[in-house]
Structure 1
Amino acid sequence: MYLTQSLHQAIQLFPDRTMTVCGGRTRTTTQVADRVARLAGALQDLGVRQGDRVGILSLNSDRYHEYFYATWWTGAVAHPINIRWSPSEIAYALNDSGTEVLFVDDSFAPLVPQLHDKCRQLRTVVHCGDAPTLEDLLGYEDLVDAATPVPDLRCGGDALALLLYTGGTTGLPKGVMISHRSLSASLLGSVLINEAVERGGVTLTTAPLFHVAALLSWIAQNVMGGTQVFLPAFTPAGFLEAVQNHRVTTCILVPVMVQMLCDHPNFDTYDLSSLTHVTYGGAASSETLLQQAIKAFPQAGFTQGYGMTETGVLTMLVADDHRTGGPKLRSVGRATPTVELAVLAPDGHELPPGQVGEIATRGDHVMLGYWNRPEQTTEALRDGWMHTGDAGRLDEDGYLFIVDRLKDMIVSGGENVYSAEVENALAAHPAVASCAVIGVPDERWGERVHAVIVLRPGHTAAAEEIRTHTKSLIAGYKAPRTVEFVDDLPTSAAGKILKRDLRGARSGSS
């Protein structure tokens, strides 16, 4: 499969259907296809050739949609960049990837002089925003208007389609190389068992498109035909208004977004009846929050997805699992049909159900490797398996239970404490809005369990109250020995709590 295939099918089947909605702009499939072919022609005129990396630093928009298609139309590699990064981190990814052409929107156009100073190979920057184009930048609409449409090269298979940079233990991001085949296999596996994407439905894209989960959701709706509604960034009010106004049928959210929606004071005033499915993932979600979300969206089916940038979607806890309830709700579901999954011991042998080990996977969905990182590629892709770095166990029915990131496991007094289990207990306290559990240095215990908590508006709680509550749900040695209350937790653009930031700020604690 090649990733522009969905656009060709949409031209044939739904030429006059609205394909993209962004702010006050709506465009039909025919209009989008013409613009994509023209933008691809403009890229070729700018010297972009097959295999070249084309970057984008932008909030979500309909032009982001066109950028992906046009880049693949020319056989080039899409390189979406994390919008939360500093200029130095952005420059590192541009330099490491050898990106020569970059799209920026209004939010990031002011960074271009800094990027030119740090990235000598960056020869062309295209402004894809709505404000007047700054000097020395090329205007997106000017390029599209002036270009001649070109034929689609229809690259697919193992050709590199996507370069996504993700954090690493070295502190430097790693470029994850994802092929057309990898994305297609991940997409196929999820669509086969997930009822989230309706044929001709309406997907609301509010999670950032440089994140693989949002990208796969976007591709899924394209393959099924339908309409993409883009929000530049998530806000509870913006999300609720978009669902109501555009009759959105499906969306993807991370737990922090779900919490913000459930806490919105005017939630009940919106008509959300069109929303038939919510996919969530990207971070651990407590059972308490899940039940709250199911109550808030009674007409919607819920699906949890688990995976990583290097693998795409690995498992899904589908809507029927949520309806059934029970202990399986604490799992992340079962492997999709295109995924082989195992739990491995340190020596590499597969563990039986019930035993905790490292989650590993193999199949066409796995990345090609890390860009210019042969040693780290060999470390991750060894013995035929992609090693995820996550600890988990499978039950007798094949449901996967995430225990922790291996590096997030806390060893306190010789006992292994898995932070996800503690966080789930903390989240059940009525005053806790969000939380993170980390290990901090301790002279007596080696590490001690430390909880960082954000309280719900209008609620109060004392540290000892939190500890007592936690001990009522899990073993006493797992309860946090120290508790810290903060106004907010550091999160990535994908909504994951950045535990490395929490650890770094508290590494001297005792």
Structure 2
Amino acid sequence: MHLTQPLHRAVQQQPHQPLTVSGTRERTAPQIAHNVARLAGALRELGVGPGDRVVIVAFNSDRYFEALMTTWWLGAVATLINRNWSAVEVADAVSGVGARCILVDEECLPLVGGLDAETSTVYLGDGPAPAEMASYEDLIAAGPVVADVRAGGDTLAALIYSGGTTGRPKAVMHSHRSLTISILSSTGYARSCEPGGSALVMAPLFHIAALLGMLAQTVVGGTLVFANRFDPDEVLGLIADRAINTMTSIPSMLQLLYNHQAFPDTDVTSVRSIVYGAAPMPAAILDHAMAAFPNANFVQGYGMTETAVIVSLLGADHRAGGARLRSAGRASLHAEVLVMGDDGEEAPRGTVGEIVTRGEHVMLGYWNNPEETAAALRGGWLHTGDLGYMDDDGYIYIVDRAKDMIITGGENVYSAEVEDVIANHPAVLRCAVIGLPDTRWGERVHAVVVLAPGGVATAEEIRGHVKAQIAGYKAPRTVDFVDALATTATGKTDKRFMRRLYT
């Protein structure tokens, strides 16, 4: 299967129903196919061909969807950039993948100002394009129609960024096969989308979970309703006005929705499926969410960027309640999953080990990073770095995350990256960054700092120092100044002790 196939299917089977709704724009599948075929022709004239990397840095919209389809129509590689990155991080990514073309919207223009002028840039916003950029609508109007190359199988389809053990983002390589197998399997295993229904696309599309949730709805047919960004007022309005059936969320989003002052007066009875993941779901938030959306089936997805999101799913068990609500569900239809002990063999049920998976959903590897690829894909398994156990019925329970990753508001933050930035502050001698439980964000980034002799700094200065160099969501929300860091018997920083101390 190729990733443009859902668009061709929609043209054939739902030519009159809107496929995308974005602000005041509504477009049917034939209209979108018209745009895609012509934009593909225009990009081909700009030198984009099969295998070339096409960077998209934008907020959610119908044009983001069309940009993805255009890239795959050409057999090129969609490279999805986190719009919360700094301009330096974006430039590093664009250079690192050797991008042929960049598509950017109005709000993300500051992120691409210093890029190589030889890379073609297409403006996704409304109105005239800035100097040195091509207009999206003008390219569609002038572009020749080209045929879909229908790339599929193990052809590289997307580069989606995931943090690494060094703290630097890595470009995860996914094929048409790995993405489509996850889409098809998840729709068959759990009620994660409504055939012919309407899906609210509110989580940012540079996250693979939001991307696959959107594509899953396209596969089964229906309408995609785009929220430019997550704003509770806008989201609640769209749910009511568009009779939204399904949406992909993170716990903090659900909490902000049901706590919003407008929620009691909003009709949410149309919502029949809510898929969540990316961060731990506290029991209290889940209980409130299920009460707030009484008609919704809740589906939890566990996985990572490297596994095309889905490794396991917890679906119908939600309404049944009980201890299994603490689990990450059972292996999805396409995935082999086991808990591996230190000896490389499957651990006995109930025994903690590393969660590993294999199957066609697993990434091809990391772009231009054979060492990290070999470390992750060893012995025929993708090693998640997550620790957990499996019960006698195959339910997976996560107990810890290796690599000290912090998930705050659905964003992955790697402590090593933040520590490197804090350590560069002239007043800092040593530091450690950990994740602490947070009722709103799931986890918050917390820094423990040892100042150099004579050094003076405040928590706000540390936060500002970090925000000036990397994305703002990576900055510590809280900072504690201490005389010395806790260490293990071998002299290593004892983050486990610190988490217990500050929790």
Partner of 1:256: 252
Deviation per CA, 1:465-501: give whole Å up to 9, x if none.
Answer: xxxxxxxxxxxxxxxxxxx9xxx9xxx9xxxx97895
Q: Distance in 1 between matches of 2:226 and 2:158?
A: 21
Change (3 A) 1:448 1:255: closer
Deviation per CA, 1:349-379: give whole Å up to 9, x if none.
Answer: 1102101111100000000000000010000
Alignment check: 8 A CA contact 1:93 1:165 kept: no
- Give, in angstroms, the shift of residue 132 of structure 1: 3.0
Partner of 1:358: 354
Change (3 A) 1:368 1:452: closer
**Matching of residues 23-422 of structure 1 within 5 Å:** 23-116=23-116, 122-312=118-308, 313-318=310-315, 320-408=316-404
Residue 96 of structure 1 aligns to a residue whose secondary structure is helix
Change (3 A) 1:3 1:402: same
Count of residue pairs the alignment pairs up: 439
Partner of 1:413: none
Partner of 2:424: none
Q: Distance in 2 between matches of 1:307 and 1:506?
A: 35
- Give, in angstroms, the shift of residue 96 of structure 1: 0.7
Change (3 A) 1:352 1:454: closer
- Give, in angstroms, the shift of residue 455 of structure 1: 8.0
Deviation per CA, 1:404-436: give whole Å up to 9, x if none.
Answer: 102349xxxxxxxxx99xx9xxxxxxxxxxxx9
Partner of 2:2: 2
Residue 338 of structure 1 aligns to a residue whose secondary structure is coil
Moved more, 98-107 or 130-139: 130-139
Alignment check: 8 A CA contact 1:157 1:181 kept: yes
Alignment check: 8 A CA contact 1:196 1:276 kept: no
- Amino acid in structure 1 at the alignment position of 2:103: F
Alignment check: 8 A CA contact 2:165 2:403 kept: no
- Give, in angstroms, the shift of residue 256 of structure 1: 1.0
Q: Distance in 2 between matches of 1:244 and 1:450?
A: 36
Change (3 A) 1:499 1:342: farther
Alignment check: 8 A CA contact 2:90 2:112 kept: no
Change (3 A) 1:195 1:449: closer
- Give, in angstroms, the shift of residue 60 of structure 1: 0.4
Q: Distance in 1 between matches of 2:111 and 2:55?
A: 14
Partner of 2:422: none
Q: Distance in 2 between matches of 1:306 and 1:68?
A: 24
Q: Distance in 2 between matches of 1:257 and 1:349?
A: 39
Change (3 A) 1:504 1:212: farther
- Amino acid in structure 2 at the alignment position of 1:375: E
- Amino acid in structure 1 at the alignment position of 2:268: L
Q: Which stretches in structure 1 are left out of the alignment for 5+ residues?
A: 410-418, 424-435, 441-446, 457-483
- Give, in angstroms, the shift of residue 183 of structure 1: 0.4
- Amino acid in structure 2 at the alignment position of 1:238: E
Partner of 1:475: none
Give TM-score, length-normalised by structure 2.
0.82
- Give, in angstroms, the shift of residue 110 of structure 1: 3.3
- Give, in angstroms, the shift of residue 109 of structure 1: 1.8
- Amino acid in structure 2 at the alignment position of 1:262: Y
- Give, in angstroms, the shift of residue 42 of structure 1: 1.1
- Amino acid in structure 1 at the alignment position of 2:98: G
Alignment check: 8 A CA contact 1:106 1:131 kept: no
Q: Distance in 1 between matches of 2:126 and 2:484?
A: 47
Alignment check: 8 A CA contact 2:202 2:227 kept: yes
- Amino acid in structure 2 at the alignment position of 1:90: V
- Give, in angstroms, the shift of residue 502 of structure 1: 6.6
- Give, in angstroms, the shift of residue 346 of structure 1: 2.3
Residue 114 of structure 1 aligns to a residue whose secondary structure is coil
Deviation per CA, 1:4-60: give whole Å up to 9, x if none.
Answer: 111111111111111110000001111111111111111111110100000011000
Residue 306 of structure 2 aligns to a residue whose secondary structure is coil
Q: Distance in 2 between matches of 1:216 and 1:455?
A: 25
Alignment check: 8 A CA contact 2:210 2:248 kept: yes
Partner of 2:21: 21
- Give, in angstroms, the shift of residue 171 of structure 1: 2.7
- Amino acid in structure 2 at the alignment position of 1:232: N
- Give, in angstroms, the shift of residue 263 of structure 1: 1.3
Q: Which stretches in structure 2 are left out of the alignment for 5+ residues?
A: 420-431, 442-458, 486-503
Alignment check: 8 A CA contact 1:163 1:176 kept: yes
- Give, in angstroms, the shift of residue 271 of structure 1: 1.0
Partner of 2:501: none
Residue 175 of structure 1 aligns to a residue whose secondary structure is strand
Q: Distance in 1 between matches of 2:394 and 2:97?
A: 38
- Amino acid in structure 2 at the alignment position of 1:11: V
Query: Which structure 1 residue ranges, 4+ long, deviate > 2 Å from structure 2?
Result: 110-113, 447-456, 497-510
Moved more, 286-295 or 497-506: 497-506
- Give, in angstroms, the shift of residue 327 of structure 1: 0.2
Q: Distance in 1 between matches of 2:362 and 2:168?
A: 21
Residue 88 of structure 1 aligns to a residue whose secondary structure is helix
Identity across the alignment (%): 47
Change (3 A) 1:448 1:305: closer
Partner of 1:433: none
Deviation per CA, 1:266-303: give whole Å up to 9, x if none.
Answer: 21111111111111111111111100100111111111
Residue 106 of structure 2 aligns to a residue whose secondary structure is coil
- Amino acid in structure 2 at the alignment position of 1:203: A
- Give, in angstroms, the shift of residue 82 of structure 1: 0.4
Residue 333 of structure 2 aligns to a residue whose secondary structure is coil
Deviation per CA, 1:304-349: give whole Å up to 9, x if none.
Answer: 111100002111110x201111000000111111000011112311
Change (3 A) 1:43 1:206: same
Residue 108 of structure 1 aligns to a residue whose secondary structure is helix
- Give, in angstroms, the shift of residue 260 of structure 1: 0.7
